[in-house]
Chains A and B, each alone.
Chain A
Amino acid sequence: AQSVSQHNHHVILSEAASLELGCNYSYGGTVNLFWYVQYPGQHLQLLLKYFSGDPLVKGIKGFEAEFIKSKFSFNLRKPSVQWSDTAEYFCAVTSKAAGNKLTFGGGTRVLVKP
């Protein structure tokens, strides 16, 4: 069975600081990896995804993530956050073996102070 863990439950940082959110998954086969963002009161939006190819994936709003297969990790990064990045971030994994069912991590609540 696949599972996802996000290391940080809450992150507080100031504008212009760099952000890195950890995500580790457990599944031995081929996986597809996603980062979603949920702004306060809004629905889930896809930030970026990894299916294959270049392990460094660039997404929307200046976010990027790096797939490190040997570490089963898919950490999300942004060099300089803005107040508008305040949101909850979810890492998720899916695989063909799991019928493309998404398994979500517990989420990381990010608060960016102006």
Chain B
Amino acid sequence: GAVVSQHPSWVICKSGTSVKIECRSLDFQATTMFWYRQFPKQSLMLMATSNEGSKATYEQGVEKDKFLINHASLTLSTLTVTSAHPEDSSFYICSACPSGFNEQFFGPGTRLTVL
């Protein structure tokens, strides 16, 4: 149980385009999902907390207009990188917290490369 999937697993796009990444909890409901970014050889940095039915909470320094988060259902959160630039190239990882649990389950990540 407690499986989290991400789609796509990797994406290459041109500078200036927008990219949407999906995070799904496959066998549980998650009122809260988290989005992280991991640069090469670095740790995971929390970008935002996604709450079902309400606005996401962004960490300091993360542009909310650039990284649009939508958590429309209890099993799906999406991260859209708008007007992507090469410096946005990174590994984006989501996690989901089953309702009533205080443990996060991680997705496999999405590697974004912006040319």
The stretch that binds A, out of B21-29, B66-74, B104-112, is B104-112
Question: Number of contacting residues on B, CB 8 A?
Answer: 19
Measured CB to CB, the nearest residue on chain A to B45 is: A104
Task: Say whether A104 contacts B44, CB under 8 Å.
Answer: yes
Determine whether the beta carbon of B97 is less than 8 Å from that of A100. yes
Task: Produce 1/0 per residue, A47-61, CB < 8 A to B.
Answer: 001010000000000
A-B residue pair count with CB separations less than 8 angstroms: 45
Contact of B102 among A45, A46, A51 (CB under 8 A): A51
Q: CA of A63 to CA of B102 in the docked complex: distance in angstroms? A: 22
Neighbour of A100 across the interface among B32, B45, B106, B108, CB < 8 A: B32
Verify B102–A96 contact, CB threshold 8 A. yes
- Specify which chain A residues have a CB less than 8 angstroms from the CB of B107 in the assembled complex: 43
Would A90 and B43 count as touching, CB distance under 8 A? Answer: yes
Q: Enumerate B1-56 residues with CB–CB distance to A below 8 Å.
A: 32, 34, 41-46, 49
With contact pairs A102-B34, A106-B43, A107-B42 given, residues A44 and B102 touching in the complex (Cβ less than 8 Å): no
Q: How far is the CA of A102 from the CA of B49 in the complex (A)?
A: 10
Contacts of A32 in B (CB 8 A): 102-103
- Chain B hits for A105, CB < 8 A: 43
Q: Is B93 interfacial (CB-CB < 8 Å)?
A: yes
B103: A residues at CB distance < 8 A:
32, 34, 46, 49
Decide if A24 is an interface residue (CB 8 Å cutoff).
no
B79 CB to nearest A CB, Å: 16
- Cβ proximity bits B86-115 to A, threshold 8 Å, 1 near / 0 not: 000000010101000011101111000000
Mask: chain A, 77-114; 1 = CB below 8 Å from B; 0 = not? 00000000000001000101001111111110100000
With A43-B107, A43-B108, A51-B102 known to touch, is A104 a contact of B95 (CB < 8 Å)?
Answer: no
Q: Do B102 and A101 touch across chains, with their CB atoms under 8 A apart?
A: no
Additional pairs, 13, CB under 8 Å, beyond known A44-B44, A94-B104, A104-B45: A36-B106, A43-B93, A43-B108, A49-B103, A51-B102, A94-B102, A100-B104, A102-B34, A102-B46, A104-B43, A106-B43, A107-B42, A107-B43
In the assembled complex, 7 residue pairs joining A and B whose CB atoms fall closer than 8 Å, in A order, are A43-B106, A100-B97, A101-B34, A101-B49, A102-B95, A104-B43, A106-B43
